[in-house]
Amino acid sequence: MDASLTNVAVGLYFTACVCSVAWVLRRTGERYRVSLAFSTGGFAALSLGLAFRWIEAGHAPAAGLYETLIVFAWASWLVTLLLAIPRGMRKLAALSPFISLVCLGYASTMDPSIRPLVPALRSNWLAIHVAANLLGYAGFAAAFVAGLGLAVALRRGRPAEGWERASVLCVRFGFLFLTYGILTGSVWAQEAWTTYWGWDPKEIWALITWLFYLSFLGMRAERGEGRPSAGRMSRLTALFAVGGFCFVLFTYFGVSLLSKSLHSYLSQT
């Protein structure tokens, strides 16, 4: 059931992407609204699919790369619903379904079967920790899209305030949830792995990602002499929003592939 709903979501997000491209080529309010409607439909299908999977598996769908990719796709549109649409950030809202579609496309190459959890994952912290981290990642993914938009706008000499505002807003959101994710993961690690911080590669790269975005927000919050000029600040914002997402991707995928991590079983289950 959940696999069928995921397929429906793929179709809806794909249609939303087509509508978004049509809207970018010729901006009519109708095309934008149709794109939003298809994306929201995809989000609803994914929500239902995740709920069915949760019931069937008996645990939160947050174990393994397949499940986290589906949640990532779901969280990406949730971020858009919470941040971009209410603030009228139309370009960001129109581009967001692409993030969900990429996640779902990647997930479709994996085995969707439900596997039993390894003992360490049998905890209520699983849902909280993974959801917090993926909401954070989704915020950073939206910031990445906004950062790219900002970079393009700056290069073409077009007004870039909207993109800059969106980048900062999404980084703030992502940073907040990454903080929650790291803290809840640490409390869980104390219960499951005997220590709240074991210098595991995944932990280290999450910390590096957190420090990277912390330095960005610290720079944005700086007042007085230390604050860069407006133009420089915009360029730095684009750089941090795009560059930071590379750290996110490495923490999410790269660590498990390149090094032996306690978190590696996430990609095996």
Residues engaged in binding another protein (CB under 8 A): 115-116, 118-120, 122-123, 165, 168, 172-173, 175-176, 179-180, 183, 186-188, 190-192, 194-197, 199, 201, 204-205, 207-208, 211-212, 214-215, 217-218, 220-222, 226, 255, 259-260
Identity of the residue, 97 or 201, whose beta carbon is nearer to another protein in the bound complex: 201
- Which residue in 221, 78, 236, 79 sits closest to 147, CA to CA? 236
Place of tokens 């095996």: 268
Q: Which is nearer to another protein, 29 or 58 (CB)?
A: 58
Q: How far is CA 183 from CA 61, 67, 79, 139, 258, in A?
A: 20, 22, 21, 18, 24
Cβ neighbours of residue 240 closer than 8 Å, sequence gap 6 or more: 147, 171, 212, 213, 216, 219
User: Helices 90-107 & 2-25, crossing angle to 10 degrees?
Assistant: 140
Q: Would you say 13 or 216 has its CB closer to another protein? A: 216
Minimum gap (Å) between residue 184 Cβ and another protein: 9
For 267, other C-beta atoms within 10 Å of its C-beta total: 16
Report the distance separating Cα 84 and Cα 101, nearest Å: 18
Task: Quote the least distance from Cβ 223 to another protein, whole Å.
Answer: 8
CB of 258 to another protein, least distance (A): 8
Our CB check for another protein shows the closer of 18 and 262 to be 262
CB of 121 to another protein, least distance (A): 9
Shortest distance, CB of residue 159 to another protein, whole angstroms?
Answer: 16
Beta carbon nearer to another protein, 86 or 116: 116
First CA to last CA across the chain, in angstroms? 20
